[in-house]
Amino acid sequence: MKRLVIDSVELFPLAEDELRGFELEGPATGATSEAQTLHFDGWILGRNSPVKAVEVLQDGRSVLRIPVQTPRQDLAAAFPDVAEAGTSGFSAAVGALRLRTSFELLLRGELESGVTMPLATIVGRREPVELPPADGPRPLIVTTLGRTGSTWCVWSLQSHPEIVAHSPFENDARVGTYWMSVLQTLSDPTSYLRQVYPGEVTESDWWVGHEADVPARLNDSILDGWLADSRVYELALACRERIDTFYEFLAEQQGKQAAFFVEKFLPRQISSDLLRELYPGAAEVVLVRDLRDVFCSVLAFNRKRGYDAFGREQAGSDDEYIDNVRRSGEALRNHMDGRETHLIRYEELITEPVATLEPLLEYLGLDPAGAPAMAEKAAVSTGGMDHHMTAGSAAASIGRWRRDLEPELAERCDAILSPVVADFGYAAAEGDSPAAA
C-alpha cells in the first residue's frame, strides 16, 4: 500500500552568486513510500558563506529544519579547496502526519550569513488515516481567528443538549488539539526512533528527539519500516480514544447524550485536518467577523490587559498589523475552498441567534426546533464573559471600528480590509451588517 506519493519536484534556478551547488537526491517525482514518513536527502554547498540548514516549509511555516552536516567524501574530493565540502550533505525525515493530505512544500537554504533562498518545491499526497468508527461524540470544529466572538460561539453551541464543551469562558479547552499534537510528535521519526537510538536519556525531553541528533533511517530497514507504518495507526487510535474518554466523561457530568464536542481552531492548524481524518463524521463551522471590527477589538483587548497579543506584538505599526489581519482573513477564506463547512457570521449570531442557529442544527443533523432554547440559554450571563468583552454589549461591538478608531486609521483599515470581508458577504463601508447572501 502506498502511503505517500510524490507528484512533482521542481528545482529553482541555482543562485550561483550564493551557492556552488545543490542536489536534491530524494524525494523525486513519482517516488512512493509504504510508510507514513517522508525522507529528504541531498547536498548543498555555499560559495562565500557555509550553508547551515535546509528548511522544509508548508503554508509558509517550518515543519522540518535539517542541519547541513552529513559526511560526504565524494564532495570533499570534488571540492578539495572548500573546507566544509566534506560535511555538506543533509539527510532527515518528517512524519507524514505533519503534512496535509495534499501538500506543497518549499525547501529553503539558510546560509550562515543569514541569507535564505528557495531551493525546490515538492508536491505530493499522503494516505488519510483510517480507523474503525468511533462511538463517542464527534468533533464540531469551529475554525476562526482571534477576537471574532469565538468563545461566545462555542458558548452558544454547547447550550444544545447534544453538544458538549468544557467551560468556554473559563478554560477554552483544546483536548483535540492536544492529542493531535501528541500524535504528530510521537509519529515523527525524530521521536519514535529514540526507542532504539536513545541518545542522552537524562534530558527531560529526550524521547521527543531533535533533528540534529536523530538519524534519518535505521540500518535495519525492516525495523525502520515497521516503526514507520502500522505503529502510526495504533498510536492514532490510542490518541482518539483519549479524546473520546474525556468528552464521554464530560457529557456524563453535564447530563448530556452528546453527539458532538466543540473546540476552536485556527485555519492553518493541521490538527483540525487530522481530527477530520480520525472522525469521519466530524463537522466544521467557519466563524467570521468583520475584520475591521476584529482589528479594533484586538487593540481594545490589548489595552484592557496592558500588553500586546494576537500578533500585534510582532507588528511594527498599526498599518503593518492591519495587513497581518488581512492575510489572516485571506487564510480563513482560502481554508473554506474545497471543504464542507457551514459559515456563521458573528454579527448574525448576535442579532439573529435563532435564525442563525436553525440552519446550523440542520447542517449537523440535529432538530432545528432546538434553536430558540439554545439562544435563550446562551443569553444567560456567566462570570467569565467580562474578561473577554471590550464593548458595553455584544450589539455595541458591531461596527465599532467606525466609532472607536481615529478617522485616518479607520480609513486605512477600511481600504485594506473591506475587499476581504466582501468575500464573506459583508456590505461596503456605508453599512455595518453583512450583505444578504
Q: What tens digit of pLDDT does each residue of 93-109 get?
A: 999 999 999 999 999 99
Please name the residue ranges forming H helices in 187-290.
Answer: 189-192, 221-228, 230-254, 270-278
Q: With bands split at pLDDT 50, 70 and 90, how would you rate the model's confidence at 388?
A: low
pLDDT at residue 118 tops 60: yes
**Residues 87/45, Cβ–Cβ less than 8 Å:** no
Beta-bridge partner residues of 94: 38
Is the link from the previous residue into 27 a cis peptide, with omega within 30 of 0?
A: yes
Residue-level pLDDT at 61:
92
**CA 181, CA 269: separation in Å to the nearest integer?**
10
Dig out the grid coordinates for 191 from the structure.
521521536
Helix, strand, coil tally for the chain in percent (to 5)? 40, 20, 35
**CA 302, CA 304: separation in Å to the nearest integer?**
5
Can you state the angle between helices 270-278 and 175-186, rounded to 10 degrees? 90
Q: Which of 19-33, 207-221, 345-359 has the lowest mean pLDDT?
A: 207-221
**CA 215, CA 258: separation in Å to the nearest integer?**
45
Residue-level pLDDT at 220:
82
- Spatial CA neighbour of 281 closest among 135, 96, 143: 135
pLDDT at residue 66 tops 60: yes
Residue-level pLDDT at 100:
94
pLDDT, one tens digit per residue, over 314-344 is: 888 989 999 999 999 999 999 999 899 999 9
pLDDT, one tens digit per residue, over 275-320 is: 999 999 999 999 999 999 999 999 888 888 888 778 888 888 989 9
Name all domains of the chain by residue range, CATH numbers in brackets. Answer: 4-126 (2.60.40.10), 138-183+235-423 (3.40.50.300)
pLDDT at residue 136 tops 80: yes
Q: Which of 99-108, 366-375, 386-395 has the lowest mean pLDDT?
A: 386-395
Q: With bands split at pLDDT 50, 70 and 90, how would you rate the model's confidence at 11?
A: very high
**CA 106, CA 118: separation in Å to the nearest integer?**
7
The dihedral over CA atoms of 161, 437, 434, 384, expressed in degrees to the nearest 10, equals: 10
Residue-level pLDDT at 200:
79
- Spatial CA neighbour of 183 closest among 320, 278, 309: 278
pLDDT, one tens digit per residue, over 231-253 is: 788 899 999 999 999 999 999 99
Residue-level pLDDT at 244:
96
β-pair type (61-67, 89-95):
unpaired
Q: With bands split at pLDDT 50, 70 and 90, how would you rate the model's confidence at 138?
A: very high
Q: Which residue's entry shows cell 468511533? A: 134
Q: With bands split at pLDDT 50, 70 and 90, how would you rate the model's confidence at 435?
A: very low
- Measure CA 328 to chain center: 12
Instruction: Return mean pLDDT, the chain.
Output: 89
Residue-level pLDDT at 168:
80
Residue-level pLDDT at 171:
78
pLDDT at residue 224 tops 70: yes
Residue-level pLDDT at 436:
38
Mean pLDDT of 70-75: 94
pLDDT at residue 217 tops 90: no
Mean pLDDT of 178-183: 96
Burial 404-423 (b: 16+ CB within 10 A, else e): bbeeebbeebbebbbebbee
pLDDT at residue 431 tops 80: no
Mean pLDDT of 348-371: 95
Sign of the Cα torsion 359, 360, 362, 367 reads negative
- Measure CA 291 to chain center: 20
pLDDT at residue 381 tops 70: no
Residue-level pLDDT at 272:
94
- Spatial CA neighbour of 19 closest among 80, 108, 123, 121: 108
Residue-level pLDDT at 437:
37
Q: With bands split at pLDDT 50, 70 and 90, how would you rate the model's confidence at 428?
A: low
Share of the chain above pLDDT 90, in %: 67
